[in-house]
Amino acid sequence: MEAATPLHAPAPRVVGILGGMGPAAGADFVRLFVQACTARMEALGIPVRDQAYPEHWLAQVPIPDRTAALGDARAGAHQPGEPLLQAMGRIAALGARTVAIACNTAHAWHGLLQQRFPQIEVLHGMREVSAGLAARGVPAVGLLATRGAYAAGLYQRELALHGILCVLPTEAERDLLMRGIYDGVKAGDYALARRHFEAVARALRERHGVGALVMGCTEIPLALDAGPDGIELVNPSAVLAEALARHAYARDQPPQSAGLLTMR
């Protein structure tokens, strides 16, 4: 059986990742991105080797707390906008053409970043997730997220635009999620985090009957790797990493037949 493989595949595009929110989540996003690049190369028939991975830059920058900032709209050093813009400037200077934000709540500043850097495509994680769920015909999901993400309506808005019902935890359950994120993952106590996340996941399943949960904070998948009671877990970081890989290997021009080699 013969398969056509590019003899000289075009170099992938330079891409960037805004991380540091928190650092463990940014590092995990790179892992997911490398996995997505491997799958993308295999799908495109590109030999998987070190030199075929795209140049990618991770900016692990100390960014002020996003949820706290959304709860206090006053200008000041507690606002993430300026540090995010500075990190974007560094990534832009390194030649990145597409950037992913490795933090769900930080997407509240997506519009600012895209407006200030029109030459760069800033991927929108909520849109990627919502489009993927809609393509699969998923009618409803539960959302595990930060208080900031809930308040900003980041997922609710995009899911509604795609015709998907989004069910939310109670106030007490949101407190559990925040403790799991801050006292659990960010503090290194993953067992505590998992207990809190699983408790909220089960409550949403029992109350609303949803079969899928969106883990709308990058810290949640670090502690919750399997859904309780058969619930499907949707990891937006993995979805966004796949989108970034697609952009990294996007072809500006169709391949030419002269550049193909038949492999046996």
Within 8 A by CB and 6+ apart from 234, the residues are 129, 133, 141, 212, 213, 214, 215
3-32 pLDDT tens trace: 444 445 678 999 999 999 999 999 999 999
Q: Which of 247, 249, 242, 198 is nearest to 29 (CA)?
A: 242
Domains of the chain: 3-124+241-263 (3.40.50.1860), 126-236 (3.40.50.1860)
Within 8 A by CB and 6+ apart from 124, the residues are 107, 110, 158
Hey, what are 7's tokens? 């003899």
- State residue 229's pLDDT score: 80
Stretches in the chain below the pLDDT threshold 70: 1-9, 252-264
Whole-angstrom Cα distance, residue 23 to residue 28? 9
- Amino acid occupying residue 50: D
Within 8 A by CB and 6+ apart from 55, the residues are 12, 14, 15, 95
87-101 pLDDT tens trace: 999 999 999 999 999
- State residue 227's pLDDT score: 82
